[in-house]
């Protein structure tokens, strides 16, 4: 299980750094108006910071798939949300950003929540899902994608950033759910024929487009606040109810406490710690941090 835990924590680091670099690249492209445009990824392909950030996200994504094969979704997804804390810590170390007391307290709470989850999550394989459940999981792509197009057209400014970030979180949560639900003993032919395998890939593309659009429209931390909440809560609920995920015997209350602390601390930290790219200078700067 050590490999699964290390994979989850390494994924959080990759996501935290990758999101900042993607934000730099997204801000260098022309702002998309109107409906969400999948061609955005093509335009971003020439931006080196975005490509490096995507590379880190890809590495992190693979690591997350390794983690969810052995650990319950509520633990893995909550550990991944610690990427918000990684961003804040990196800003403190490399950008010399001063954290006020509330931000420092949020980091402590975030760390405590992650430790509680890591200590109480019960490793193991998920409960097999039937074909009907697998199809329903795969069909979740449709409302997620439609929601992205609606948000790209109907919303503006921070509402669009938060909504698109949340929808990207649902999509990335869908990839984790698909990976967790896939049968481990499938042959290669079975994996290719399984709708969850294709859904995993499509969820990933939808998540990338939605998050890129959110970064292009506004603050990376607002986008991450929406993403982290949706990516954590929804898969956790489905994992507990459908896949049989659970905490170690007698530690359900501690696990629930750790989960709530992690999600709330990450969402608060993301909303109050805005690390923004300086597009013209090609560097990272910090805006709207109290005490900075």
Q: What is the pTM of this model?
A: 0.76
Task: Please classify residue 45 by burial: count the beta carbons closer than 10 Å to its beta carbon, then call 0-12 exposed, 13-18 middle and 19+ buried.
Answer: exposed
Cβ atoms of residues 271 and 222 within 8 Å: yes
**pLDDT, tens digit, for every residue of 13-72?**
888 788 777 767 666 665 544 445 556 666 666 677 778 888 888 898 888 888 888 888
Paired tokens of 160: 């669009």
Q: Mean per-residue pLDDT for 215-229?
A: 75
Please state, for a pLDDT cut of 70, what percent of the chain lies above it: 77
| Each residue's pLDDT tens digit, 96-136 | 666 778 878 888 888 898 888 888 888 887 787 878 888 88
pLDDT band (50, 70, 90) for residue 197: confident
pLDDT at 142 over 90: yes
**Which residues are CB-contacts of 274 (< 8 A; sequence separation ≥ 6)?**
219, 220, 221, 222, 286, 287, 288, 289
pLDDT of residue 167 exceeding 90: yes
């Amino acid at each position: 299980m050590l490999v699964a835990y290390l994979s989850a924590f390494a994924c959080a680091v990759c996501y935290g750094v990758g999101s900042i670099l993607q934000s730099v690249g997204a801000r260098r492209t022309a702002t998309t108006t109107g409906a969400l445009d999948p061609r955005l990824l093509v335009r971003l392909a020439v931006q080196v910071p975005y490509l490096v950030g995507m590379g880190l996200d890809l590495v992190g994504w693979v690591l997350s798939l390794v983690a969810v094969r052995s650990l319950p979704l509520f633990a893995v997804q909550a550990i991944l949300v610690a990427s918000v804390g990684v961003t804040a810590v990196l800003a403190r170390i490399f950008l010399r950003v001063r954290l006020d007391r509330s931000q420092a307290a949020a980091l402590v709470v975030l760390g405590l929540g992650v430790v509680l989850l890591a200590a109480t999550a019960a490793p193991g394989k998920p409960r097999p899902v039937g074909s009907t459940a697998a199809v329903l999981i795969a069909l979740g792509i449709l409302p997620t994608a439609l929601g992205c197009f609606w948000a790209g057209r109907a919303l503006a400014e921070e509402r669009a950033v938060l909504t698109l970030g949340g929808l990207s979180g649902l999509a990335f949560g869908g990839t984790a759910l698909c990976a967790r639900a896939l049968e481990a003993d499938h042959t290669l032919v079975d994996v290719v024929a399984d709708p969850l395998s294709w859904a995993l890939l499509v969820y990933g593309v939808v998540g990338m487009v939605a998050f890129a659009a959110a970064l292009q429209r506004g603050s990376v931390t607002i986008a991450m606040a929406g993403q982290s909440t949706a990516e954590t809560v929804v898969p956790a609920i489905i994992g507990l109810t459908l896949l049989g995920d659970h905490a170690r015997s007698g530690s359900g209350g501690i696990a629930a406490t750790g989960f709530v602390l992690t999600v709330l601390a990450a969402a608060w930290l993301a909303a109050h710690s805005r690390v923004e790219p300086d597009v013209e200078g090609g560097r990272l700067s910090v805006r709207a941090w109290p005490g900075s």
